[in-house]
A and B are shown apart, each in its own frame.
Chain A
Amino acid sequence: MAFTGLQIYKLLPKTNCGDCNFPTCMAFAMQLAAKKTSLDQCPHVSEEAKAQLAEASAPPMKLVSIGNDENKLEIGQETVLFRHKEKFYHPTGVAILVEDTITDDELDKEISSINQLKFTRVGEEIGINLVALQYSSTNAEDYARLAEKIIEKTALPLILICQDPSIMEPALKVIGDRRPLIYSATRENFEKMASLAKHYNSPLAVYAESLEELADLTQNIKKMGVDNLVLDPGTRKTGSALEYLTKLRRLAVDKVFRPLGYPTIIFTGEDDPFQEIVQAATYVCKYANIVVVKAKNTWQILPLLTVRQNIYTDPQVPNAVDSKLYEIGAVTPGSPVIVTTNFSLTYFTVESEVGNSKVPTHISVVETEGMGVLNAYAGDKWSAEKVAKTLEQQKVREKVDHNTIIIPGLVAVFRAELIDEFGWNVLVGPEEAARIPSFLKNEWKPGSKK
């Protein structure tokens, strides 16, 4: 059970000495309970307290890693049911399912398309995390050979899907050193699967059709010394999967029920490509740690990755870009200058619309602690003084030969102040970024030449 601030406080020296740079021991305890600082910030804590707190701070959900080194995927160790309470730490792994009935040529094509499924969104590269190889019809030898072929073509970690230990073992002999996720241990095979997982030091998925059975299985497997587990609650229907996944997360995080304190894996069941991706997106939101999709069409992937990226950002730390003068297109000293905030979503929206306009433009980004235009203005992070100072620092006066700047339409109210502060002509731009292209093409006119 995670300690509350009060419980931690009782273990601290209670001197309010301030050496941890918090005002009081209680303030430090509260920050510690919220996981916003670490115990070693207190130089005076007793060894006894350290031991007690370390035990209690063991995460309620285990962190499981699949694969090796730089390509490994880490999942689990989530601490909350709702993102806004803290944040979600390890993004859901998206796995693409490959059947072992596939021909070599098809496999080549499939893997190269998976490798290419990479997108850059709001300044971050997003893509597929895992390849899942489904055993269905071939023999053990062919299954192992296919697995080997996949690891030659991609650095992504693998999920081996097969519940027959005699098929699993030869495959592991070939690719076991890549630490694939072994899927899966069941009531029937768990002893053999667990010893394979132990031998190859690989994570193991556990499959059962009820939560009770899952809890039994994980306890038995743990007794064998295997603790890197991923849970599959069995169902392939959206409704019941959602129910089980929610129960699993609640039991792990709220009740700190250790037998189910592991990350989860779930498979899509829908065949229609639209339905399938809606289903997968649902699981990303609540609460799959790995979602395995068929995704026959590559277009299905982007929306799924977008949802995942949105859910797994830290809601308490706005995404921000660097405050500097960005040059979009082949800018000249005559190009317009747009001022905006450093909130990623704001910046990238403006940037993409400027790109659409085909008008080369300078974008001056003001440091607003990751707030959007109106929030920054209301929160005093965006003042005429600050914008003028930013423009000076970015040497806008030297870089352009006109004297006009464009401000967001939402803060038209501070136009006059900025004119006073910076001395240039200030044009009020559109309120919505979507109108930037037409604004730049039709309304933008540079002020008088210097």
Chain B
Amino acid sequence: MKKNKTKVTFLPQNETIEVEKGTTLLEASIRAGVYVNSICGGDGICGKCRLVVKEGDVTAHPTTLLKREDIKKGYVLACQTEVIDDVVVEVPPESRAEGKILIDKDAQRFRALYAPMKGQVFFKYEPLIQKIHLELPPPSLQDNISDHIRLYRSIRRQKKIPIMQTGLKIIKAIPYVLRKGNWEITATLGVRGGTVEIIQVEGGNTTDRNFAVAVDVGTSTVVAHLVNLTTFETMDAEATYNSQRVYGEEVTRRIIYAEQKGENKLREAIVEDINNLITTLISRNNIYLNDIMAVVCAGNTAMIHFLLGLNPSYLRKEPYIPVCTYPPPVRAAEVGIKINPRGLLYSLPSIASWVGADITAGILATGLYQADELTMLIDIGTNGEIVIGNKDWMVCCSASAGPAFEGSGVRSGMRAAEGAIEKVKISEEGKIQYTTIGGGKPRGVCGSGLIDVMAELFKAGFLDRSGRLNPDINGKIRDVKGELEFLLIPSSQTLTKDEIVITQADIENLLRAKAAIFAGINALTKMLSIEFSDIKRIYLAGGFGNYLDKENAVTLGLIPDVQRGRVQFVGNTAILGAKMTLLSKDALDTAYKISRNITYYDLITYPDYMDEFMSAKFLPHTDVSKFPTIMGKIKR
């Protein structure tokens, strides 16, 4: 008989999997649980899923994304290559997992965040999805209520739930599950607004298998955390670049694309990203897809529009109106997210068209909404959002920064993942010390590393106040085809064998990003007539990883020059807040309150914004009196 199965072995993991002939290497890798980079998700357009065929035969579709010499060495694109015989392939370093975003400090930071607030009451543990183990009395001629009501009765003996609902599909399943389970079952309850829905009934006791995923849907980066709802533990995390990027780096371009070609492509792209993240998380943790009962999304408003298939068009047109800022929980399958088919998708409420649910989540996670003292939250992503307020009032704005601090638009930039340089020191002679996430060889520089590089170059005199590299110093600055660049790590020391550099254009991008954010901070405080010194606490959030050098952030002029003790780096608060709501219905209700009561201030209506922006495009700022502690340290 003709054999139509074939074996694929991945090196260096040495994982072997049997697949049908004609399967692409990318599909094989996903099934084998071997991570291969792919930004486009298999469309053959990103050129990131490079593999080396060591033994065996494959059919490779022609591509322009590989160099001729690479093809000679056996390089193929995993998504464009089909298996026709047993094959051994190697995953080269550049295609390997960018590692997981480190989460070990996450829980710690979470606790630290609440430490300064006295009398803080934690939200009551009441997850959005609860599993209840029930032993029902079997019916009799006397106790002859319906199976459905019997189920309700048993649930209500354990939980006070006045209003419950059940879908027809579950009602149909009830008699079988009850009898097959010999009247011992587990019911899964999901919060839907004011009511609770029975979303699943299973025989036996499955209460230890209750998982959910929290997702931060960003313009550039999508981060997912796997949460065990029984133990409240964050089990794992994974991130990917948002593959909508092929439709435009900026949100506006993506909206225009959606207007012209329909929203579907964009929805499919983000749904695919989320599905891929979930698949990776469950396969790495040996969890069944069926046991993922909910996904909570804290994304920016446009991303939530794309995800839910809402018309994004009016977001970009004056007066910038979202279709919906409080999306109700929906069946995840309805938008194409693959978890338990009855599982729910929750979207945290957003605030305005350009301040999304990620900020609602950030306010929730930092406790800003109940602070006694004036507090500021700065969340640095593709947009820089700024919130100022306390328990009485909150005002927020959004400054369009661009994705430079997420490592995008910067030659050697990458997101905060294994192999990213997260910490850098540069001496006046140009000697470089650095640490990478995970401690291995460097692959690129993430946001916190980029802040360090800029600030260190500035302090050491390689960079002048207007952000120009100074070519005369120590010969460390090279001129490559008319563009100046600073060599950070030579190719011999990197994982990818590509050198890590910072170019004049990179610096321009970073400078613009930091200027937009600082101008937003300045505009908002001026509009409110408050001084930096009135702000008693500054939370700096963003997907920087585990570390951020406050001193260097101030040196750059990214954040105001205030007492350093007042500044606290809080990491990705979008995902933190999303996880809080997963674990507590109270937290979700609070998120709704936050988004209803906060006031959005559109920087478009601030007449001096452009002036503020231009003034902030210097290091640290045109007005050095704003940065008294910095200027003394700068080498002239």
Residues on A facing B (Cβ under 8 Å)? 4-6, 9, 14, 16, 23-24, 26-27, 30, 84-85, 316, 379-380
Contacts and interface: CB of A to CB of B under 8 A. Distances in A.
Contact of A27 (B318, B528, B599, B607): B599
A84 B607 contact: yes
B527 A5 contact: yes
B275 to A, nearest CB: 34
Contact of A30 (B317, B318, B394, B599): B599
A23 B596 CA distance: 8
B601 interface: yes
Interface residues of B, number: 18
A26 B608 CA distance: 21
B168 to A, nearest CB: 39
| B317, B393, B598 pick with most chain A CB within 10 angstroms | B393
A304 to B, nearest CB: 27
Nearest to A83: B607
Contacts of A23: 599-600
A27 B598 CA distance: 9
Nearest to A27: B599
Contact of A26 (B393, B530, B607): B393
Given A14-B393, A26-B393, A380-B317, 17 more contacts: A4-B528, A4-B529, A5-B528, A5-B529, A6-B528, A6-B529, A6-B530, A23-B599, A24-B597, A24-B598, A24-B599, A26-B395, A27-B599, A27-B600, A30-B527, A84-B607, A84-B608
Q: Which 3 A-B pairs have the closest CB atoms?
A: A26-B599, A4-B529, A24-B599
Contact of B597 (A5, A16, A84, A379): A16
B392 interface: yes
Interface in B608-625: 608
Contacts of A26: 393-395, 599
A152 B272 CA distance: 84
B392 A14 contact: yes
A27 B529 CA distance: 15
A9 B527 CA distance: 13
B322 to A, nearest CB: 12
A17 B530 CA distance: 26
Nearest to A22: B599
- Indicate the member of A16, A26, A30 with the most B CB atoms within 10 Å: A26
Nearest to B607: A84
A352 to B, nearest CB: 30
A341 to B, nearest CB: 16
Interface of B: 317-318, 392-395, 527-530, 596-601, 607-608
A116 to B, nearest CB: 39
A5 B600 CA distance: 13
Contacts of B598: 24
Contacts of B607: 84-85, 316
A421 to B, nearest CB: 15
B15 to A, nearest CB: 51
Contacts of B600: 23, 27
Contacts of B529: 4-6
Contacts of A27: 599-600
Contacts of A84: 607-608
Interface centre among B395, B530, B600 (most CB of A within 10 A): B395
Nearest to A7: B529
16 contacts: A4-B528, A4-B529, A5-B527, A5-B528, A5-B529, A6-B393, A6-B529, A9-B393, A14-B392, A16-B596, A16-B597, A24-B598, A26-B394, A30-B601, A84-B607, A380-B317
A30 B318 CA distance: 20
Contacts of B528: 4-6
A16 B530 CA distance: 22
Nearest to A86: B607
B600, B601, B607: most-surrounded residue (chain A CB, <10 A): B607
A164 B601 CA distance: 56
- Of A14, A24, A84, A85, chain B has the most CB atoms within 10 Å of the CB of A24
Contacts of A380: 317
A379 B319 CA distance: 11
A85 B606 CA distance: 8
Contacts of B608: 84-85
A14 B394 CA distance: 12
Interface centre among B317, B598, B599 (most CB of A within 10 A): B599
A342 to B, nearest CB: 16
A379 B604 CA distance: 13
Given A4-B529, A6-B528, A379 B599 contact: no
B313 to A, nearest CB: 10
A316 B605 CA distance: 9
Contacts of A9: 393
Contacts of A30: 395, 527, 599, 601
B329 to A, nearest CB: 24
B73 to A, nearest CB: 45
A339 to B, nearest CB: 22
A9 B528 CA distance: 11
A401 to B, nearest CB: 36
Contacts of A24: 597-599
Contacts of B392: 14
Contacts of B318: 379
A6 B392 CA distance: 11
A351 B607 CA distance: 31
Contacts of B596: 16
Contacts of B530: 6
A379 B600 CA distance: 22
Contacts of A4: 528-529
A23 B598 CA distance: 9
A87 B151 CA distance: 68
A27 B597 CA distance: 10
A343 to B, nearest CB: 16
A30 B397 CA distance: 13
A294 B393 CA distance: 56
Nearest to B256: A380
Nearest to B599: A26
A14 B393 CA distance: 9
